[in-house]
Amino acid sequence: MSLFLDAWQHSPTHKKVWALAAPMILSNISVPLVALVDSTVVGHLPHAHQLGAVAVGSTLYMLLLGVLGFLRMGTTGFAAQAAGRADGGRADGGALRQVLLQGLGLALGLALLLGLLAVPFSDLALGLMDPSAELDSLTREFFHLRLLGLPAALANYALVGWFLGTQNARAPLAILLSTNLANIALALWFVLGLDWGVAGAARAAVIAEWSGALIGLALTRGALRRHPGRIDWPALQLWRNWRPLLAVNRDIFIRSLALQLVFFLLTVQGTRMGDATVAANALLLNGLLVTAYALDGLAHAVEALCGHAIGARDRAGLRRALLVAGGWSLLASLAFALFFAIGGGLFIDMQSDIAAVREVAHTYLPYLALLPLIAVWSYLLDGLFIGATRAREMRDAMLVAVALSLPLGWGLQFLGNHGLWLAFLAFMAVRGLSLGTLALRLNRQDAWFVTRPH
């Protein structure tokens, strides 16, 4: 208890956490704000299948991006540890440059690969969903247009992760805010002003993604000047210098693939229940997005500070960062739970005026109110494991959660959409418990500072 009070009352740690978390919360909130604006703009068009097309098309696109979230997470951990070593007296500006180039190189290569696989993937996914003819046609149009922004979106992952690792939260703020505010403005113009409908929302997103990538690349010049060093080009040609990053990214990829599988199955089952149900679930999941991205701002602070502490071998700093960020995360999750419990109806009604969609969404609002309190622990602990580059443990915890929750979802099918949401809540709970169990075991073994072969 005394250790907890010491960490919580440590004022410099609060300042460090909020210096990183506040800009990231502000910029992160703009991400679900885009989804909210898209839902609101398209949700006020006449037909449920138009809103459903944006919901399903966005889910398919985010599934592709989500499984490649390792580009952001892996880059953050390695950049944070390189920055921690530099502060410890051994300049590692060369390592920071290596991590940046490797991240951008992976982003480009994976964008080309996914571009070839995306259309067959969408055909298979929509075949599983069995949507109405109108929903199928509009979803394909939206998804194919969104693919034009894939290289820029993946580059943004690598750039944001690298900046966070160097404890620079202003650059990600500039990248994400400019991207998402441009997306919102263009969506309003294209959908309502130019009457481009669902296609207008997709075009707005593509232009915005490329704008953010260009801004991020421009900002790297100033950041690199603050971390002097040179790239060891011959070293980049050696497999052993790629192996640690690829090993961590492999495990985060598996973890992300399992997570996106859960969201994909949620959409598949919702689509089978009708256009109104899949649209209503999308509105509710927008609430989860707002919560997740806000709490991720604190998790990003944990990533940078814990990674920095591990690089500097600072046990007290690691403990303080985790406990202070954990306290603020719990308070934030309580605030979101109260917001959805009291104002959830208004939150839904702002997004759509389609009566059938509103009615379904209002029925399932209690699940949304419970989600922040259940999900907060997995977000916080993800930050710890990412900063420690402990991707293997993250992978194992996610696989346990999926293995336990999928059979539950299958068994609760007789409850319809209620069963779907109960299984999702169980998944988030098991995910947090699994990560917590692994974190306690590593702490007892004093293993956070052990160098592991990859």
Residue 86 has pLDDT above 60, yes or no: no
- Give per-residue burial for 33-51: e unless 16+ CB within 10 Å, then b: bbbbbbbbbbbebeebbbb
3-state SS, residue 354? coil
Determine whether 112 is exposed, middle or buried from the number of CB atoms within 10 Å of its CB (0-12, 13-18, 19+).
exposed
pLDDT at 28: 62
Residue 139 has pLDDT above 90, yes or no: no
Q: How far is CA 213 from CA 153, 171, 252, 322, in A?
A: 7, 11, 23, 31
Question: Quick one: what percent of the chain has pLDDT higher than 90?
Answer: 14
Q: Which region among 84-98, 135-149, 151-165, 289-303 has the lowest average model confidence (pLDDT)?
A: 84-98
Give 81-103 as a 3 state SS string: HHHHHHHCCCCCHHHHHHHHHHH
Q: Which region among 142-156, 285-299, 302-316, 377-391 has the lowest average model confidence (pLDDT)?
A: 302-316
Q: Does the predicted TM-score (pTM) go above 0.75?
A: no
Q: How far apart are CA 94 and CA 233, in angstroms?
A: 10
Angle at the Cα of 388 from the Cα atoms of 220 and 81, rounded to 5 degrees: 40
Run of H or E residues at 393: helix 391-411
Q: Which region among 59-63, 115-119, 191-195, 278-282 has the lowest average model confidence (pLDDT)?
A: 59-63
